A and B are shown apart, each in its own frame.
Chain A
Amino acid sequence: EAGVTQFPSHSVIEKGQTVTLRCDPISGHDNLYWYRRVMGKEIKFLLHFVKESKQDESGMPNNRFLAERTGGTYSTLKVQPAELEDSGVYFCASSRNRDSYGYTFGSGTRLTVV
């Protein structure tokens, strides 16, 4: 089966611009997760979708971040406006079941805000 696909793989934008990251989960995986690793820090949970519903968005840093999962398939994570501290790697993962040991991670999107 195809893995979790993220694009773009890299994005460089200027402070104040908008960027949209996309994640295509493994087909049939209802659970989709976003994590990010800002420079030099831990990988941190952002949010969790079950199908098209946000199950847990406790990790979203502020209202400049908007995640959607229309139709319960792919997901987008929009940052508007981007700030310098948003630079880092954004990971997406998906799982079939609601447990933590069935995750498959994507390769990540490296976001650089200049």
Chain B
Amino acid sequence: AQSVTQLDSQVPVFEEAPVELRCNYSSSVSVYLFWYVQYPNQGLQLLLKYLSGSTLVKGINGFEAEFNKSQTSFHLRKPSVHISDTAEYFCAVSEIDGQNFVFGPGTRLSVLP
């Protein structure tokens, strides 16, 4: 079984500042890793995913995440945020031969002017 921890439930940050949203996971098997975003009144949208290869993954809207196997982490970063990045961000894992996601509780990012 897998579990996902997102320690920060809310992250306020000023516009143009950098941000890091933390994600740690626990699994007894190898997993794929994902970040999803939910903008207000919208569905879940895939930001980026790690399947294999380079541990630094680049996604949409300038976001990137780094897979650290020894620390079982997959933190999401953006060097300069915009007001439009205000949303809730979900980290998720999936077993490599599995078909379902296990999601973290979400981090609500608020970008302040």
The interface size of chain A toward B, counting residues with CB under 8 Å, comes to 25
In the assembled complex, A69 has its CB within 8 A of some CB on chain B = no
Q: Encode contact with A along B70-106: 1 for CB under 8 Å, 0 otherwise.
A: 0000000000000000000010101100111111111
Q: A42-B104, A43-B90, A101-B51 given as contacts; is B43 within 8 A of A55 (CB)?
A: no
A38 to chain B, nearest CB (A): 12
The interface size of chain B toward A, counting residues with CB under 8 Å, comes to 25
**Chain B, range 38-76, C-beta contacts under 8 Å to A:** 41-46, 49, 51
Verify A45–B45 contact, CB threshold 8 A. no
Verify B99–A56 contact, CB threshold 8 A. yes
Q: Encode contact with B along A68-102: 1 for CB under 8 Å, 0 otherwise.
A: 00000000000000000000000101000011110
Chain B contact residues, CB within 8 Å of chain A = 4, 32, 34, 36, 41-46, 49, 51, 90, 92, 94-95, 98-106
A-B contact pairs, 5 of them (CB 8 A): A44-B103, A45-B102, A98-B99, A105-B44, A108-B43
